[in-house]
Structure 1
Amino acid sequence: MKFKPHKYQEYAIERICETPGIALLLEMGLGKTVITLTALEALKNDYFDANKILVIAPLRVADDTWARESEKWDHLKHLRISKILGTAAKRKKALEADADLYIINRENVPWLVAQTGKHWPFDTVVIDELSSFKSSKSQRFRALRKVRPLVQRVIGLTGTPTPNGLEDLWSQIYLIDQGERLGKTITGFRDRYLSPGQRDRNNGNVVYDWKPKPEAENTVYSKIEDIAVSMKAEDWLDMPERIDRVVPVKLSDKARAQYEQLEEDLLIPFLGGDVVANTAAVLSNKLLQMANGAVYDETRGVREIHEAKLDALEDIMEAANGHPVLLFYAYKHDLDRIQERFKQVRTLRKGSEGTKDIADWNAGKIPLLAVHPASAGHGLNLQDGGNLIVWFGLNWSLELYQQANARLHRQGQQRSVIVHHLVTEGTMDEDVMAALDSKAVGQDALMAAVKARIERVKGS
């Protein structure tokens, strides 16, 4: 296929070639992979400014998306790709192969750094989904930080650079410019731009979250504007309409009584005390499980409460009348119950089997594809297979929510995308849905919702 770049793609390609360290904050669907591959091809073969290129990506994207994208476009088909994946022996063999691009999953970055040591061979590094390096404490960040001085060019790609707040930005930008703009340490960044939020009651030195100081966001963004390109799909593409539907799920009187009893038993111990972030997360997790219809007990057994969401999904499947449905679930017991009710459901597998699943979906061969949003959040092109999404279970991550929906609502989609949210009335589902609508998800929203439910139980 001949590549005819949009104006914004031409601009992004030019910026990559001109800027040794750059962050492309491209919203989902803008074609960041073909943009980057086109720039890399030019840097390597036209400008002779890139020799050995490494792409770091989520596992499924590393295994499928980059190679498939290069095969798709005429000007990229000649690129030789070596995937540093699989067993240690396979990774070593791939590392030693003669190729234009080497692709590794982000979990194996520490292995690669340890394997190459001071002889790090890559002068150009692409970090696909830069936000997955947002934790300065993670092994992947610390490993890549060690070899960063040996890299001449870094290209970071993400659509969600600050999914949980401004603090997420420091480590990502550090990998781009080695601390030139936002400082050499996370501690210094916090001192300049953030204020401590909630602290541990027993150890005041432990801070659970950080709040931006006044004008901090504007200051930070102005400091990185010369190395960051930010674009939204709606500004550049004639995207198909996305229609969001909330499907209210009503519980029977018996199920409602059972749910409320379990909720009360769970929340009552906290009526007289404080709820800190880690406790709130546990409580929210339990309440969302119950809203979906089942909950893990203290022995990891599954206690089923209701089948109302399964019934609602059955109604949607019937109305779909054979059109493929992409279903996002939250918990293993959700999937188990879905598989028991809907025999036609397929799951997205790993490796070559997962590649076949993607091809079958895009060919219209899968009527119901069940996927956990964490395993399909980045890079999967599923827009050819359908336009219907169902959220069986919601979660608090705005990043996962946006990325998952963008599997269908992206460039190349020919129809309006309809996103159904199954929301159990009177449960934590409603709080998460409201937070997602306002894009105010995060620790503050989670804790506020849990505390509100405790107060409701207290007042009942």
Structure 2
Amino acid sequence: MSQFSESQRQRAEQNRLKALEIRKQKLAALGTSGTPPCTPGPPKSTATSLNFIPSPPNPTSRTSSTSAVPQGGVGATKFYTSSSLSGGNHSTLGSSKTQPTTHPGDFGVSGPPTKNPRIEAPKTTSTLPPGVLKKIEENKRKAQERQEALRRAREQGSNVPQVFTAPKGITQPTSKPSSSTSDAKNINPVASKFTTHVTVSFVLSSINTFRASTTMYHAATIQVFKTMTSRSYDYNKKIWTFQISEHRKLVAALRPLHPEVEVQPLPQFVLTAVEAAAKKVPADYIDLFGLDSRLLDALMPFQTEGVKFGISLGGRVMLADDMGLGKTIQALGIACHYRSEWPLLVVTPSSMRYSWEESILRWVSSVSGQDVQVMSTGGDKFREAKVVVTTYDLLSRKAELMLHHNFGVVIFDESHMIKSYKSARYKAAAPLMKKLKRVIMLTGTPAMSRPLELYTQISGIDPSLFPHFHDFGVRYCEGRKETWGWTFRGSSNTEELQIILQSCVLIRRLKSEVLSQLPPKQRMTVVLDPGLIKNKKIFEGMGHKIQSLSRVESGDCLQMFAKTAEMKANAVREYLKEVLESDKKFLVFAHHVVMLSTICSLCEETKTKYIRIDGNTSAEERMARTSKFQNQDEVKVAVLSITAANTGLTLTAAQLVIFAELYWNPGILVQAEDRAHRIGQEDSVMVQYLVARTTADDHIWPLIQNKLEVLGKVGLSNDQLNEAKTSYQKCAAEPDIRDFLHNTDKQESPRKSAASSDIRSFLKPQNQEENSDPNWNA
């Protein structure tokens, strides 16, 4: 039985004839003659003839369901019925068994070629799944919306290319694009809801202004900026600046541009800080009348500004001046303004306890020795004292006792020691800072490496400034959310943070900023911790022996001098440990081998690079080591002998000079100081003398002062070593070294003036070695 019925064979024949007719028309249109390429196929049916001329198709035949759609271009011979396109019966005439094929002899083209007609495939009804059709229509709609959005953006003036990249799923047209759509790359996504938004972020540029920055140019945003009355544009930096009073107005004006424009306004805590700063009493309006007269006279102009600033903040302030600018006297000035709220608590590193006691007694005339209590051990009990000086370690051990005492004012010296909220120091200090009304912090390095370290100190002074650590960390510590949580190890918006802190919390001046108000060389005496001094009873009753001797170089005095070096060694070691943490270069002078060796061993233990110059160092080696200290940043310490290194060296890489021991001749001390304070020094020099009580130091200093006073009386103060002005160096601000001793009143001469506190003003060098120094006159 035949595979196809008679009607099917007839329809197939009609389709074949129609295809031949179309083929002939194409050949005629191309004006070609010859044999077109053919597709090999099965043998021809016997029912067809090679010279068969097709007749017009029968209009009454059912061709709608069997219309042939050509696939490919000219020369194609394969046809499919519409039923195969619509997903119907797939066993059509296109199968390998029954598909009609053409051969070279099937075409009998004769006569002139006809006019090229438009050849179109018959239209068919699509029967694709509804989901596919819906997706196609949705993609078309999105494409139209994109075109309309780009057209609107071009009308507004945005620099938008004429062509966009079609979303995934939309087929690009195969026809040649017009000139307006010649480039489909580098599409600017302005005003397109399918691309990246424009982000406008605000950040403070001063306490009264803020600046706006955008991720890209956006015409509508710029037009909004121009509507602000306080607008200001920097053409060089390309930055828009506005008054803080128009912040809310600008945010509201940009809101209609959402979602094309995303606005990142100033956080609420920043606006609150700005409002608080505006309500603060200006420091210039603060009157220091009634402050202790001795302390007031000792303040330098910039120190007076610091005291007024602290009072304007209500006594809750951080003094963050550079080292050597007198934070101690400023803190006492602020504390004395609130004298009615005392007792005063001073929390300090252990090595600075007795220096604070000396400073209080020297500058606050209304406080006597009985009014100051220095806590040395955990067993010390409170007595009725106006001032209590303790350490961070003792504060941690006696936190409850400190908290329930009736303190009204607290000073935290080196407040960076409570930077970690996990430390016992901070946990003991936090309740005190929350309870007391006046909190004064002192530090030359508020943050060692990251803004994160500032938070505990800031929150202790003003908890309302940054109420939530997370907000602070995200904005200023480059907070990022990682796999295991948030990290705040970086820094961001540091200029804004600095503006807020300097307006609401701290004051910081560098030496370079106030150098005109500073003497070129400042001195201070550091009283070492008595608890670290060994065998203090050896010197009891021996003071009269030194004073009764005509020559201090006698055997007994030299023996006491040598013994003092051994007794002070441990205390000096502990003090220098804290100095090394500052990571700054400094010179340290000593006289005895035991002291020099102790300092060198400390540097080796802490892995600090240093140089040593003493009597055993050759001239060539002195020059090499000096060059090493001057030129290599990693070399932090120069350990020097007072007698061997007081001349012939230039060590201006350091601004700090420390004397671990004293010496009989004041001229030698001045010459040693000037190893750093000489031509080439670009900063003020701080000189520190480490003095131990109940040792030979108590007797050596008065003898040195007597020598200086004698030289001053005979007019030998006109030496050329003093290049610096001394008018600012008042006897209370940067006093004569006798003022640091317990018996200074008996030793001071009534003829000594306030401007003569610099040791060199009394002195002409005892020898002429300084004049022969080739580096001095260079």
**TM-score (norm: length of structure 1):** 0.50
Q: Which has the higher contact order (CA 8 A, sep 6+)?
A: 1
Which structure features the higher share of helix residues?
1
Larger Rg: 2
